[in-house]
Amino acid sequence: MDPFEIAKRTGKLAEEKKARDIVILELAGLTDIADYFLIVSGRNERHVKTIAGHILESMELMGVRPYSTEGFENGRWVIIDYQTVVVHVFLQPIRELYDLESLWFDAKRHTLGSEKTLKGVKDG
């Protein structure tokens, strides 16, 4: 599975568990950290854990295992590292605090269910 397919698939899995504000940032050419970030929000710690757990279990069933995971115990910010794709499942206030979308303002943005690509804008 190529990196963009992983990003889209993890985004769809997050959507299945009612994640909010799902955004894929295309980082290829901007950093060596990853090609894509998937950023989503949950309503509370339990919801964050549910979203992250669903992504982990479903991707593993497809033979895609993470390089590492962080933050699952607390459920405030779960990071799932698939090397080319890093999934960030945030509690909304924590997402606002760290504001990764602004940090990577020059990254292309992809939203699920739309072929629209946004560049350098938060709401488009």
* 121-to-25, 82, 89 alpha-carbon distances in Å: 12, 26, 21
Please give the pLDDT value at position 112: 80
- Say what the pTM is: 0.89
pLDDT value for 114: 45
Q: What is the pLDDT of residues 26-38, one digit of tens each?
A: 999 999 999 999 9
Kindly list the structural domains of the chain, giving each domain's residue range(s) and its CATH number in brackets, ordered by start.
3-107 (3.30.460.10)
Pick out the chain residues at pLDDT < 70.
Answer: 113-124
| Angular region, 18: left φ>0, alpha ψ -120 to 50, beta rest | left
Residue in the structure block whose two tokens are 């889209």? 8
120: which DSSP letter? S
Confidence (pLDDT) at 123: 43
